[in-house]
A and B are shown apart, each in its own frame.
Chain A
Amino acid sequence: MTLAVFFGCTFIAFGPAFSLFLFTIARDPLRIIILIAGSVWGWGPWATSGHRAFFWLVSLLLSSLIWFIAVKASDPHDEPLQKGLLIFGVMFSVLLQEAFRFLYYKLLRKAIEGLVALSEDGCSPISIQQMAYVAGVGFGLMSGAFSMINLLADALGPGTVGIHGDSQLYFLTSAFMTMVLIFLHTFWGILFFHGCENRRWWEIVAVVVMHLAVSGSTFCNPLYVGSLVPSYVLMAIAAVWAYMLSGGSVQNLRRFLLCAQSEASPQPAS
């Protein structure tokens, strides 16, 4: 495959996420730390060194372990069983990711308390909504990177896509799927944290159900219309919902689009 495929897929999958990173996260070291790592120190002023990617990695590790044990304990030639185990692995991984998102929320809550206690004017330099956004981006970037990076490396090498009868759009659809997943993780982060903050359990359940739905829809692959379309629809819904929850409204949007001055209009990522 060519360099064009490599760069095209990279930019499709990671372009929006990296722009989000550059414009909203890169300037604040605190946000970078929240993004990258995932420590378990729940106390002290440094609790903000909880990083989403690490938490996502740990959840992936645990779910891989479970799947690995299950596979080793089963008959490798039994195709339906292997397929069933894979489905189980995927669902379990989704549930574990959401569980770790909750754990991460707990950690960040403690971190905010620590930051507030140490600050001179009684408010933390970063709010829980910002943390939710950054955490979501971190989760998304890590999940996207793990899905996409081996594909991109293969895209640089020789080969023809789909020569054995598989879909020729493999790389492209993978890139689009990765992009939508990164966005979804960002919005789910905001929704989830909002639900946890305000004790609205149905928001949390909605996030979990959406995640299961998106992962489940990928079982339709290579029938891409069955996986990409629902995912994008869900992403739009999640986007609107997260925007509303973060204080956005139609008026804000109109003012933003018309570049009009507005007093005290909250932005989704501030």
Chain B
Amino acid sequence: MITFMNNSDSEDEPCNERTSLMSAESPPVPSYQDGLQASETREAQTHRKRQTGSSRSPNNVADEDASDSDVRVRESALENEEEELTLKYGAKHVIMLFVPVTLCMIVVVATIKSVRFYTEKNGQLIYTPFSEDTPSVGQRLLNSVLNTIIMISVIVVMTVFLVVLYKYRCYKFIHGWLILSSFMLLFLFTYIYLGEVLKTYNVAMDYPTVILIIWNFGAVGMIRIHWKGPLQLQQAYLIMISALMVLVFIKYLPEWSAWVILGAISIYDLIAVLCPKGPLRMLVETAQERNQPIFPALIYSSAMIWTVGMAKPDTAAKGQSQQAWDAEDERENHSSTSHSDSQILDTRSPAPSHPITLEEMEEEERGVKLGLGDFIFYSVLVGKAAATPSGDWNTTLACFVAILIGLCLTLLLLAVFKKALPALPISITFGLIFYFSTDNLVRPFMDTLASHQLYI
């Protein structure tokens, strides 16, 4: 059974979510669900819709062109069809998430390798007060563990606080908080980033131009994230602010603390999403009870709504009008802050309220969602791998592949279990294993091979 979440339009959904991947269950209306299932069938079998769907989807690189089949309406064996839908859409969903994650990592790695500002040590955040400049290994390890404990506690406290706020419907407070944080991110951090890039390439730029650029960038970002706009723009902005957050983390987290924090936060993610009393799980369940989409602004979503009219169920459906809508249609898309949480959702956009007949259906493209915290921590891992003093690209590449594999596996599990799942543990585990093993084992081997120009 594929589970859906019936999203209502444009509610205030301000909440920070922990890192998790989820496919939400919702109590469906019977006739609506039948209509949905029938429409899914049609969706699965309509070649053209998929093609147009993928052409509209901003991050869908792969068009399914070869696997078209005839349109047949099936009222029987729906479960089989749904499983096949999972399969057919699964691969597309994976690619829809691969592309933004890859883009974010590319931005981060490109910046790390070229702009030296983000690899210079210039102090630490207050969340990691213990310095790692001690000569003894034991002391350094202890300091990094203490830093991790403090950081994770801060994150836990923030999450619990936000869950409490969400539970007691203090939407305005959260809304204001998120507007403030996205304001800072979009203006201040972008200004710093622009300044450092210009310094690196020794490009002179006068203040009026800078003000113009930053003002436009920030204002459009605020409008898009907190109000309405094209989906691609929102996705682009979410990727950019994730990258900015990642760069801040990479700059201000000390070396060993960063790795320990990455490990600890995957464990925390696992607990928070899977345990019955975990904050994120409570968040997800509360949102499902209220039939609200969860934090559309803090989640990267690639879902879209398609409006298609069909002449007959037996003939190939013709797309008469297609529009790309923001599937969440949020007014409050809040950006994430340093303690942003994340989830992956397998969601469906809501069907309209008009009676669903066989002649006319609203087709909906199911989308996948990934929380911004996931983006951030994936890219922190890859960025840290890129920032290693040895300057080895193999390590970066290996971590990149490892994270993508982890994401793929997580989406596989999502398809199997169909409930909220943490997105961090598998990817971060693979990433950490591959980072340390590539850096210490593969690098000397490959360097020796390269110096003798041997090929394996």
Interface-located stretch among B4-12, B175-183, B372-380, B444-452: B444-452
Tell me the bound Cα distance from A46 to B88 in angstroms. Answer: 10
B146 within 8 A of A: no
Contact present for A33 and B91 (CB under 8 Å): yes
Contact present for B446 and A146 (CB under 8 Å): yes
User: Given that A39-B408, A64-B442 are known contacts, is A145 also in contact with B452, CB under 8 Å in the complex?
Assistant: no
Q: Which residues of A in the span 31-70 have a Cβ within 8 Å of any Cβ on B?
A: 31-33, 36-39, 41, 44-46, 48-49, 51, 53-54, 57, 60-61, 63-65, 67-68
Contact present for B412 and A49 (CB under 8 Å): yes
A221 within 8 A of B: yes
User: Given that A61-B437, A64-B441, A153-B393 are known contacts, is A86 also in contact with B446, CB under 8 Å in the complex?
Assistant: no
Contact present for A221 and B452 (CB under 8 Å): yes
A30 within 8 A of B: yes
Contact present for B61 and A32 (CB under 8 Å): yes
Q: Nearest CB to that of A44 among chain B residues? A: B416
Identify whether the interface residues of B are mostly helix, strand, loop, or mixed: helix
Which of B94, B397, B402, B456 has the largest count of A CB atoms less than 10 A from its CB? B456
Q: Nearest CB to that of A150 among chain B residues? A: B393
User: Given that A29-B91, A93-B456, A215-B455 are known contacts, is A54 also in contact with B445, CB under 8 Å in the complex?
Assistant: no
Q: Nearest CB to that of A45 among chain B residues? A: B87
User: Given that A26-B61, A33-B94, A150-B393 are known contacts, is A49 also in contact with B409, CB under 8 Å in the complex?
Assistant: yes
Which residues of B have CB within 8 Å of A178?
455
Contact present for A57 and B94 (CB under 8 Å): no
Contact present for B391 and A153 (CB under 8 Å): yes
Which of these, B84, B88, B438, B447, contacts A61 with CB under 8 Å? B438
A143 within 8 A of B: yes
A80 within 8 A of B: no
Contact present for A28 and B456 (CB under 8 Å): no
Contact present for B454 and A221 (CB under 8 Å): yes
A142 within 8 A of B: yes
Which residues of A have CB within 8 Å of B69?
120-121
Which of these, A38, A67, A222, contacts B405 with CB under 8 Å? A38
B65 within 8 A of A: yes
B13 within 8 A of A: no
Over the window 140-183 of chain A, the binary record of Cβ atoms lying under 8 Å from chain B Cβ atoms (1 yes, 0 no) is: 00110111011101000000000000000010011001100100
User: Given that A153-B391, A215-B455, A215-B456 are known contacts, is A90 also in contact with B449, CB under 8 Å in the complex?
Assistant: yes
B83 within 8 A of A: yes
User: Given that A54-B405, A90-B454 are known contacts, is A68 also in contact with B444, CB under 8 Å in the complex?
Assistant: yes
Contact present for B393 and A94 (CB under 8 Å): no
A235 within 8 A of B: no
Which of A61, A63, A121, A178 has the largest count of B CB atoms less than 10 A from its CB? A61
Which residues of B have CB within 8 Å of A221?
452-454
Tell me the bound Cα distance from A178 to B449 in angstroms. Answer: 13
User: Given that A29-B62, A29-B64, A39-B408 are known contacts, is A174 also in contact with B453, CB under 8 Å in the complex?
Assistant: yes
Which residues of B have CB within 8 Å of A37?
401, 404-405, 408-409
Q: Nearest CB to that of B95 among chain A residues? A: A29
B320 within 8 A of A: no
Contact present for A68 and B441 (CB under 8 Å): yes
Which of these, A27, A36, A149, contacts B63 with CB under 8 Å? A27
Which of these, B62, B65, B67, contacts A32 with CB under 8 Å? B62
Which residues of B have CB within 8 Å of A71?
444
A-B contact number at CB 8 A: 168
Contact present for A49 and B94 (CB under 8 Å): yes
Contact present for B62 and A90 (CB under 8 Å): no
CB distance from B40 to the nearest CB of A (A): 13
Tell me the bound Cα distance from A215 to B454 in angstroms. Answer: 7
Tell me the bound Cα distance from A93 to B455 in angstroms. Answer: 10
Tell me the bound Cα distance from A235 to B355 in angstroms. Answer: 62
Which of these, A44, A146, A173, A218, contacts B454 with CB under 8 Å? A218
A204 within 8 A of B: no
Contact present for B84 and A28 (CB under 8 Å): no
Contact present for B453 and A39 (CB under 8 Å): no
Chain A residue total in the interface (Cβ 8 A): 63
Tell me the bound Cα distance from A46 to B65 in angstroms. Answer: 20
Which residues of A have CB within 8 Å of B391?
153
Tell me the bound Cα distance from A261 to B83 in angstroms. Answer: 39
A125 within 8 A of B: yes
Which of these, B94, B415, B442, contacts A29 with CB under 8 Å? B94
Which of these, B67, B88, B92, B455, contacts A214 with CB under 8 Å? B455
Which residues of B have CB within 8 Å of A45?
83, 86-87, 90, 415
B98 within 8 A of A: yes
A131 within 8 A of B: no
B428 within 8 A of A: no
Which of these, A32, A170, A219, contacts B95 with CB under 8 Å? A32
Which of these, A61, A64, A86, contacts B452 with CB under 8 Å? A86
Tell me the bound Cα distance from A32 to B408 in angstroms. Answer: 11
Contact present for A146 and B397 (CB under 8 Å): yes
A97 within 8 A of B: yes
Over the window 402-420 of chain B, the binary record of Cβ atoms lying under 8 Å from chain A Cβ atoms (1 yes, 0 no) is: 1011001101100110000
Contact present for B62 and A86 (CB under 8 Å): no
Contact present for B442 and A49 (CB under 8 Å): no
Residues of A within 8 A of B (CB): 26-33, 36-39, 41, 44-46, 48-49, 51, 53-54, 57, 60-61, 63-65, 67-68, 71, 86, 89-90, 93-94, 97, 115, 118-121, 125, 142-143, 145-147, 149-151, 153, 170, 173-174, 177-178, 181, 214-215, 218-219, 221-222
Interchain residue pairs with CB less than 8 A apart (22): A28-B67, A32-B95, A45-B83, A45-B86, A45-B90, A46-B90, A57-B398, A60-B456, A90-B456, A143-B456, A145-B397, A146-B397, A150-B392, A150-B393, A150-B446, A151-B450, A153-B393, A170-B453, A174-B453, A177-B455, A218-B455, A221-B452
Residues of B within 8 A of A (CB): 61-67, 69, 80-81, 83-84, 86-88, 90-92, 94-95, 98, 391-394, 397-398, 401-402, 404-405, 408-409, 411-412, 415-416, 434, 437-438, 440-442, 444-450, 452-456
Please provide the 3 A-B residue pairs with the shortest distance between their CB atoms, ordered closest to farther.
A29-B62, A29-B91, A46-B412
